[in-house]
Amino acid sequence: MKPKPPVTTIRAKKAVEKTAPRRRVQPKVVVEAVPEAPPLHIAMASPEIAPFAKTGGLGDVLGSLPQALERLGVKVTLIMPAYRSVLRGGFELEDTGIRLSIPVSTRREEAALLKSKTGSAIPVYFIKADRYFDREYPYSTPDGDYLDNAERFVLFSRAVLEVLKLDPPSILQAHDWQSALSVVFLKAQPHLYPELSPTKTVFTVHNLGFQGLFWHLDWHLLNLDWSLFTPSQLEFYSRINFLKGGLIFSDVITTVSPSYAEEIKTAEQGFGLHGIFRERTPNLVGILNGADYDVWNPDTDKFIARKFSPDKLAGKKSCKAELQRIFKMPENPDVPVIGMVSRLTPQKGFDLLEKAVEQLLSRDLQFVLLGTGDKQYQEFFSKVSEKFSDRTGVRIDFDEALSHKIIAGADMLLMPSRYEPSGLTQIYSLKYGTVPVVRATGGLKDTIEEFDSKTGKGNGFVFSPYEVQPLLDTVDRALAAFGDKKAWAVLMQNAMSANFSWDRSAQTYLELYKKLTAK
C-alpha cells in the first residue's frame, strides 16, 4: 500500500491553485501565405516601334518607354504591323503558329502572328498581313498616303484586340490614330471582347496634326453602328476621324509634354478638336518624352568620330571636323556649325526657314541639314546647298549614323517648329553640348531655357513669334555667345548636365497606370 502524500503538500498546492492566475491557452494563429499580386500588365499598340520601324519620334518613344517601364517591374506587351522593314530587317522573328481571322467590312482577312522581343523580356507581336503591310513605306509614298490606309489600320486595330484576348492586360495603351480604333472597338463593342472587360484604356496623342481622316463611304470597313457616325462620336466635318475616336472612348488621354497638353485646348493648335480636350481636361495628362541615354550619349556613341564627355571635350572638336569633311565644307573650328535633323514639313518650321535661309547664310556660319519630307522643301534646300556650297550641306535622306554625327559635330541645333508636341532632337543635342536654338512651343518650351550670360543660367536660345526676324535675332544671340569662349563653355556644361532620361517619365506613367487601375 502506497503511503499517502503529506497533507501539507496537498494544501500548499491547493493554495497556489487558488492564488495563482490560470494560464490561458492561446489559440493557434494560422497565417496563410498571401499570393503576390501579379505585375501591372501594359499592352501598347503602335504603328511603329524602334528598331523595327521608325519614321520619327513615335518610333523612338516606343523603343525606349517600354524598357524603362520594364525596369520598374511592369509587364509590357507590344503590338505593331509587320511592315517590310520588319520582315526584311534581319530581326529574329518567330512564327507563333497563331492565325487570326479579322473582320473587315463584310469579309474576314487572315493574318499571322509573329513574335520577337526587346528589352530584357518584352514580347513584340507583329500582325503579318502582307497585302496590307509588306510595302516600302509604312503610311505613304513621296507622292502621298496609301489609298487604303483606312482599311489597313482597321485591320490592325481589330487584330490588336484578338491578340490581347490571349493574355488580357491591365491597360491597353494605343498610340496615335493608326491604333486609335482598338480603343473604340473595345469600348463600343464589349460583347465581342468579353475577355478584355476589365481592361482600362489610355490613348496617347503624339502629333495632333495627323488624325486619320477618311471619307464617310469607308464606314462599312469599321463594322460599327451608324449611330456612332455623329459629331459627338467619330464624325468630323462629314469624315471619319480615327484619332477622335480614341479621344472620345479612352479612359485617359495622354500627350507627350505638359505644354502641349495645354496648347491643344486652343483653337490655334487644337486642329478642330480643342473642344474635346477642354471637355476631357480631368482625364488629360501631359508627360514629357524622355531620352534613351544608352543610345544618345557622346561618351558611348558608336557612330561618332571620337567619344567625349563634359570633362573631356576634345572629342567634340574631332566630331565637328568630321562633319565639315562629310559635307565638304572648310574645316574651321572657329566657324559655328548650325545643324538640323528633321522632317521637312511646315510643322517643323520649314516654311519660315525657307524665307529666312538666305539671310541666315549671310552670317559667318556653316549650315547642315539631314531629312526627308515635302518635295517642295527637298528641292528648295537642295538648290540652296548648291548655291552656298562653301557653307551649306544638305542630305535628303534618313540616315541614323549621320544624324548622330550631326548632333555630335554641330555647335548649335536649329528647331524653329510651328508646333512641337514634345521633340526629342533638342533633348539629344543637349547631351552632346550642341546648343538648341528653338521656338517656344510644346516640348521645346518645356526643355529649353534662354541662356543668360550674366547669371550663367539656361541651356539654349528661344524665340516666340513665328516670324523671320525673331528667328534671325535669336540665331544672332547664339552666335554672339559662341564668340565668347567663357560664356560658351558655361552654356555647354549647362546643356550637357541636363537630365531628361526615360526613367523619370516612366515613373510618371507608372503612377498614372496605378491610379487608373485602382478605380
Residue 140, beta-bridge partner list = 145
Query: Is residue 284 located within the same domain as residue 343?
Result: no
Report the number of distinct structural domains present in the chain. 2
Positive or negative CA dihedral for 502, 504, 510, 513?
Answer: negative
Using only C-alpha atoms, what is the Rg of the chain? 30
Please name the residues in contact with 345: beta carbons below 8 A apart, sequence gap of 6 or more: 373, 374, 377
Does residue 465 belong to any structural domain of this protein? yes
Q: Would strands 171-175 and 41-45 be described as parallel, antiparallel, or unpaired?
A: parallel
Let me know whether 332 and 286 are in one domain: no
Q: Is residue 13 part of a domain?
A: no
Per-residue pLDDT 10s for the chain (519 aa) are 444 443 333 333 333 344 444 555 555 555 555 556 678 999 999 999 999 999 888 999 999 999 999 999 999 999 999 999 999 999 999 999 999 999 999 999 999 999 999 999 999 999 999 999 999 999 998 788 999 999 999 999 999 999 999 999 999 999 999 999 999 999 999 999 999 999 999 999 999 999 999 999 999 999 999 999 999 999 999 999 999 999 999 999 999 999 999 999 999 999 999 999 999 999 999 999 999 999 999 999 999 999 999 999 999 999 999 999 999 999 999 999 999 999 999 999 999 999 999 999 999 999 999 999 899 999 999 999 999 999 999 999 989 999 999 999 999 999 999 999 999 999 999 999 999 999 999 999 999 999 999 999 999 999 999 999 999 999 999 999 999 999 999 999 999 999 999 999 999 999 999 999 998
The answer for 414, left when phi > 0, alpha when psi is -120 to 50, beta otherwise, is beta
Whether 496 and 509 share a structural domain: no
Task: Tell me the pLDDT tens digit for each residue of 408-465.
Answer: 999 999 999 999 999 999 999 999 999 999 999 999 999 999 999 999 999 999 999 9
How many DSSP H helices and E strands does the chain contain?
Answer: 18, 20
Question: By residue range, what is the domain housing residue 401?
Answer: 314-500
Interstrand relation of 366-371 and 200-205 (parallel, antiparallel or unpaired): unpaired
DSSP 191-202: GG-GGGTT-EEE
* Three-state SS letters, 105-173: CCEEEEEEEEEEEECCCEEEEEEECHHHHCCCCCCEECCEECCCHHHHHHHHHHHHHHHHCCCCCCEEE
- Which CATH number does the domain housing residue 443 bear? 3.40.50.2000
Cell 552670317 sits on residue: 363
Give the cell for residue 284.
Answer: 488629360
Residues 423, 509: one domain?
A: no
Answer yes or no: do 283 and 432 share one domain: no
Q: Is 512 exposed, middle or buried (0-12, 13-18, 19+ CB in 10 A)?
A: middle
SS3 80: strand
| Same domain as 235, residue 337 | no
433: DSSP letter: T
Cell of 138: 509604312
**Same domain membership, residue 189 and residue 262:** yes
Please give the angle made by the CA atoms of 75, 80 and 81, to the nearest 5 degrees: 160
- Same-domain check for residues 269 and 345: no
Instruction: Write out the three cell numbers for 295.
Output: 543610345
Q: In this structure, are 281 and 425 located in the same domain?
A: no
- The span from the CA of 280 to the CA of 254, in Å, is 11
Q: Is the pTM of this model over 0.85?
A: yes
Q: What secondary structure, in 3-state letters, does 177-189 show?
A: HHHHHHHHHHHHC
| Helix (H), strand (E) at residue 459 | none
